[in-house]
Each structure stands twice: as C-alpha cells, then as structure tokens.
Structure 1
Amino acid sequence: MIDIRAEIEQAIATKQASLALAPVIEAAGREIVEAVRRGNRIFVCGNGGSAADAQHFAAELVGRFERDRRGVAAHALTTDTSLLTALANDHGYDAVFERQVTALGARGDVLVAISTSGESESVVRAVEAAQRLGMASIVLVGRGGGRLARVPGVIVVCVPSDRTCRIQEVHTMVVHIWAQMVDEAFAA
C-alpha cells in the first residue's frame, strides 16, 4: 500500500530543496519578461507530461495567470497534430520541435524546453536550433539535468529529484512563478 503521508512529505521536501533554485528561476523569469517587453515570442516544448506542462505555460501566457493583462505571443510546439505527425513522418520524431523552432523562431525569442530527464533528443535538438538562431534557451529539467543542462549558453533550472512526479510538480510551480512575473510586469 502507498504511504500517502510519505508521498506528501517527499513532495514538500523536494519543494524545500528547490528553494536553492530561486535565483535561477528569477533570472529565467526576467529573460521571459524582457523578451515579451521587446515584442519577442516565447516557444515551449516537451514530451509526454512535459508536453502538458508546455501547453499549460503557453496558455497562462496567451490568456492570463491571475491578473488581467495583454496576451503574450507564446506557442506550445506540442499542439498541432497535423504538423507534428507530418514532421515525424518526413523528418523523424527527433526533429519535430527543431523544425518548428527553425521555421518560427528568431533572434531574441525564448525557448522554454521541458524534460524531466534532460535526455529527450527532440528537445535537445530544439534547444540547439534555438541557440543557432540567437534565441535564449531555458531548460526545465531534473535528474542532474542530462544533455540539456550541458548545452552551452542555456539557463538551467534543475529540480533536485530523480522522481518524475516530483520533478513535474516543481516544474508546474516554476511556470506558475514565471506566469506571475509576466502578470506583474504587464498587468492592466
């Protein structure tokens, strides 16, 4: 039987350990706010649960989080099934986000790449493409950061956990903090 109390305690402990990430979370949030202020766009990608997190974050930016403000040009690269399946069929799944970043991204835009392991090839290739274009790249990872944390020039937010569920819980908290920063910067 699952020890529910232990699960809750572990979730709390992971968030407590994540307090050390506050400076990098703030720096990444400032990067997002400044890109929006310049009129640049925010792109977000990930696979599986991280794709859901990508869509959640983009929705908070285009809509709003807790305060009324203008919409932000944010795009989850995970939502267009016709495009995703065409790219996967014609170029292989590892290229599905890279091709979109290359086609849609521009210098000054921001890519937020989400992967609990930091090892997802499709996400790594998207970050590498963003770097070539002069975009800022923010990676939300766990498990030591994997390959994504080793891409030169990226801002790394690495959750101190090896459990996917705990990493995803902190990722959700982080994107909520960033959405709150955007709300505060652009509230009506």
Structure 2
Amino acid sequence: MPIPFDNTRISATIRESIETKERLAAGCADDIRRCGELLGAAAKNRKLIMFCGNGGSAADSQHLAAELVVRLRSSINRAAIPALALTVDPSIMTAGGNDIGFENVFARGVEAYGNEGDVLVAISTSGNSPNVMNAAAEATKRGIVTIGLLGGTGGKLAGQCTASVVVPSPVTARIQESHILIGHIWCEMIEETMFPELF
C-alpha cells in the first residue's frame, strides 16, 4: 500500500528536488555555462536555436522557445531571438510518424529548418530517445551544434552531442524540474549576451 501524501511525504518530495538541484549546482555548473556560451554565441550571430523532446520534454521545448522568441523577463524590452520547438505542429508530427516513422520526425525538422551554425537542444530524461538521437545525428551531419539536456547517466546522447548537461538523478520528475531551471539559466545567459546594454 502506498504511503499517503501527508505533509511529511510532501516535504520529503520537496527536499528531494532541492537535493537534486544542490548536486546540479555542485557538479554541473561548468557544463551549464559551456552550453549557455554556445547558445549565446549562436544567438549573437542570429542563428536558429531548435528544441526537441518527447512528452514533458516536448513541453519544455515549447516553453524555452517561447522564452527566447518573446522574452524571459518582462522587465526587459528586447528584440526577438530566433528559436523553434520541433514539437509544435501536429500535422507534421503525424504525417512524419505515418510516412517516415516517429523515430525520424525530429530529424526531418532539422533537415527542413536547420543550417550550419544553428543549435539543436536535444532534451531527453534518459538520453536514449530514438527520435531525439536521430535528430542530433542529422544536426551533426549538417554542421549544427548539438546540446544535450539529459538525466540519469546521460544515455547515448551524452556521447553524441557537442556538449551536454546530465542532471544527477534517476527520477524523471526531478530531472524535468532541473531541466526547466537550466533552460531558464540559458535564456538569461542568451539575453545578456545578445543585449548587454539592457543589464
């Protein structure tokens, strides 16, 4: 029988999330910075930043693309930053899934929209999502920088990407919570790289 969600269990879940972020701060700051610098350099050159992922990672893709195209901080009035979530068009996703296989839908998006010098942020809590891996492979073939936003051991994507951040947790929910934090840090870095006069 599961333990009921009383205050003790709720507090324990919050502490688990905090502990994951403490491990992230202690062990992953260099990786977060390196990835943020790659993103900032691409944005400064008006290159496209693409995102892909499944489920919650698809939602994160859309969230982070929106922060860049519109803005992260409402107090900052800035120009749009080119960004695109490859997860948002149900016609493309279902046509691709039907005609070329779901494992190839994101790679097809990279082929359609990506150019040399652009960036693909490949989001996967396991690091082993076939459609995300195939997108990263297509990006590499086209001279596109690949950044992995991963979890657990990093999976196969950790060795496939130009740079990556692996959240030190085996728990999907804790990984996802850290992914959006990392994404927000990257958005701040990109904004400050692009528009230093506003800070």
Which TM class, normalised by the smaller chain length? over 0.9
Question: Is contact 2:43–2:194 with CA below 8 Å preserved after alignment?
Answer: no
Structure 2: gaps (5+ residues): none
Q: 3-state SS of the aligned residue for 1:119?
A: coil
Q: 3-state SS of the aligned residue for 2:95?
A: helix
Distance of 2:143 and 2:191 partners within structure 1: 26
Which structure is larger by alpha-carbon Rg, 1 or 2?
2
Q: 1:166 aligns with which of 171, 174, 177?
A: 174
Distance of 1:72 and 1:39 partners within structure 2: 7
Aligned to 2:88: 79
Q: Identity percentage over the alignment?
A: 45
One-letter identity of the residue aligned with 1:12: I
C-alpha deviations, 1:137-182, integer Å up to 9, x for none?
000010100111121x521100000000000000000000011112
- How far the C-alpha of 1:185 sits from its partner, in A, is 2.1
Task: Give the RMSD, CA atoms, in angstroms.
Answer: 0.9
Structure 1: gaps (5+ residues): none
Q: 3-state SS of the aligned residue for 1:144?
A: coil
Q: 2:139 aligns with which of 105, 130, 140?
A: 130
Moved over 4 A (4+): none
Mean Cα deviation higher: 60-69 or 108-117: 60-69
The TM-score with structure 2 as length reference comes to 0.92
Distance of 1:75 and 1:145 partners within structure 2: 24
Question: Is contact 1:70–1:186 with CA below 8 Å preserved after alignment?
Answer: no
Q: 1:11 aligns with which of 4, 12, 17?
A: 17
C-alpha deviations, 1:17-36, integer Å up to 9, x for none?
00121111111111111101
Q: What is the aligned residue count?
A: 187
C-alpha deviations, 1:85-114, integer Å up to 9, x for none?
111111000000001101211110000010
- How far the C-alpha of 1:68 sits from its partner, in A, is 2.0
Distance of 2:32 and 2:80 partners within structure 1: 22
Q: 3-state SS of the aligned residue for 1:139?
A: strand
Distance of 1:134 and 1:60 partners within structure 2: 25
Distance of 1:115 and 1:186 partners within structure 2: 27
